[in-house]
Amino acid sequence: MTASTRDDLPCVEEVRAQLQRILADPEFPAVGRVASFLRYVVEETLEGRGGRIKGYAIAVEVFGRRDTFSQDDPVVRIEAGRLRRSLEHYYLLGGKNDPVRIDVPKGGYVPSFSWNDPPPQKPDNQPLQAEVPRSPDPWWRGRRAAFAGGGTVAALAALLVVLGLASPSPPATVADAVPDRPTLVVAPFANLGNDSNAQLYAIGLTEELLTALPRFKEVKVFGRETSKTLPSDVDASRVREKLGARYLLAGGVRASGTRLRVTVRLLDTSDDAIVWSQDYENDIASDDLFAIQTDVARRVATTIAQPYGVIAQVDVANPPPDDRGTYACTLHFYAYRSELSVDGHLKVRECLETAVARYPTYATAWAMLSIVYLDEDRFKFNVQNGTDPPMQRALRAARRSTQLDAGNTRGLQALMMALFFNREFDDAMRIGEQALATNPNDTELMGEFGTRLSMGGDWARGAALLDRAIALNPGGGGYFHGTRALAAYMLHDNATAVREIDQADLQKFPLFHAVAAVIYAEAGKTEMARREGEAFVKMRTDFLPNVASELAIRNLQPADAARLINGFRKAGMPVPQDVVASATLGGAASDLQPR
């Protein structure tokens, strides 16, 4: 009798033993949000409190959100998706022969416990192959094509390219040139009445959306010509059948006097489910139609298409059945950016290196790889020996991205960052301004540019950009909360500094602990400052002995660097005496001057 045919269910002790087995596995993220989430929902269920496992309780008790937590904050949904994928990954690998299975079914957060059936063993003479889907043929042909490719071959090709022993080969077919991404089609917005203003607005809003959405390169948007062929009430399943698009954006406009109401909805074409909807009310007496439609289009595009936006959240929680790795790299990249862990860095780097070998003209993957290479140097994550220095690889990959697509927001962001850490501050800021003008709604770029401006001494403007990024994308990343906390510290706003550092939740990221230490020390939280300082020194033993050069590469102004050094000392961290003396005199070592 197999495990699944047993009549009984695992007992409390067996479930707790399985929980510990999962958390002890090196492939499972045993610390941080995912582990805390799993531990909380399992223990609450075992204690008979499954009925109170709701999004609000998880946000407050697990993620430390305040009791004013709103469902507009997507943190619980994002982390639930990440937890489900981590469990799925675990049971495919290390846990495939475990006796008990723990799942968190979709539609809620209460876990289920069952007996686990070991998967059937594959014959040794049949190696696994990764199936890589091609882009759909033109819709009028009404068919899809797919082919199989060897994952090992792709990985080897990536290694040769990265080591400089081979040049990326051109794609075998046109369909291979760009990997699969979430595909979105915009139906013409409908006039839900007889008002001429509403008709004009509906046409203009559709045009604005078709301009704003393609700026987010992680999403593929069908063009105007395709959109115009659709009726405003097109059936979502028809879009799936004819275009192969996973998402349909549709809506309508209704006018009443000077009031305009816009209804927008995003549908999953696989099942007609509405995954997001929103109403927008406007008064055309207080503003002109063009300004109103531009603002609504910006808000819609930012909400659904940006990093960590609605489409990314849906794909993390419920990946499409044809997802095969390359697009998943972008999801992994943003997950890594939200926690900045050394393990996440290694996995994303390997994934992206394979992606650019497979798709050498994929500008977004080159941009992301540039940022990951940069993290080797600035965070000392998984530094590779026997290759070019990570800073050179970062700059080369960023330039490759912008050569392939001069308007790619992620490529411009990567180039800005690579120039910044190469101490070419003025050029970095010029590229940052260009990137922000290219896509003023991209919160990943907005937060990163705010960080670079802050480090360069413009703390006020940097803080304003970070506030805007966080407001538009509250689930976007603890990294921006951490930088916002540092900006508040530099602006002598201790209350904001403490509030923001408490929200950062970057326990795996060494510099988080350094920033937390100086903020808590300034706020008089001596014991917390000492604890954070000790955590930082343990994680980055090399930082304080080289603190002058570490701050110099981040382009900190001498006075700002001196203040940080004194803050480290106030938190009880072992700063070298010669550096302390220089900072005490009101300056910093000569190599803190930006070059």
Instruction: Return the SS3 of 3.
Output: helix
Higher pLDDT pick, 530 / 134: 530
> How large is the average pLDDT for residues 448-461?
94
**432: buried, middle or exposed (CB in 10 Å: 19+, 13-18, 0-12)?**
buried
Distance CA 377, CA 11 (A): 48
Strands 100-103, 112-115: pairing is: antiparallel
At 178-193, the pLDDT tens digits run 456 788 899 999 888 7
Task: Kindly tell me if the per-residue pLDDT of 285 is higher than 90.
Answer: no
Would you tell me how many other CB atoms lie within 10 Å of the CB of residue 497?
25
Residue extent(s) of CATH 3.40.50.10610 domains in the chain: 183-316
**564, amino acid identity:** L
Give 347-400 pLDDT, tens digit per residue. Answer: 999 989 988 888 888 888 899 999 999 999 988 999 988 888 999 999 999 999
Relative orientation angle of helices 151-162 and 342-358, to the nearest 10 degrees: 100
Which among 218, 272, 473 has a CA at the least distance from the CA of 484?
473
C-beta neighbour count of 585 within 10 angstroms: 9
Domain 183-316: CATH superfamily, name plus number: ABC-type transport auxiliary lipoprotein component (3.40.50.10610)
Task: Using alpha carbons only, give the angle 260, 262, 266 rounded to the nearest 5 degrees.
Answer: 180
Angle CA(408)–CA(410)–CA(415) in degrees, nearest 5? 95
**Chain centroid to CA 134: how far?**
25
SS percent in the chain: helix, strand, coil, step 5: 55, 10, 35
**Chain mean position to CA 55:** 21
Most confident of 98-107, 196-205, 534-543: 534-543
How many of the other CB atoms lie within 10 Å of CB of 507? 17
* φ, ψ (nearest 5 deg) of residue 409: -60, -45
Neighbours of 308 (CB within 10 A): 23
Cα gap 584→524, rounded to integer Å: 20
- 18 vs 33, more confident: 18
Q: How many whole angstroms separate alpha carbon 145 and alpha carbon 172?
A: 15
User: What type of residue sits at position 205?
Assistant: L
Query: What pLDDT sits at residue 186?
Result: 92
Query: Which H or E element spans position 282?
Result: strand 273-283
Residue 468 pLDDT exceeds 80: yes
pLDDT at 296: 87
Question: What is the residue type of 363?
Answer: A
Q: Lowest-pLDDT range, 10-24, 113-127, 331-345?
A: 113-127
DSSP class of 229 = T
Of residues 114, 151, 147, the one with CA closest to residue 133? 147
Among the ranges given (54-58, 218-222, 282-286, 398-402), the one the predictor scored with the smallest mean pLDDT = 282-286
Instruction: Tell me what pLDDT residue 134 has.
Output: 33
CB atoms within 10 A of CB 347: 16
Residue 130's DSSP bridge partners are 149
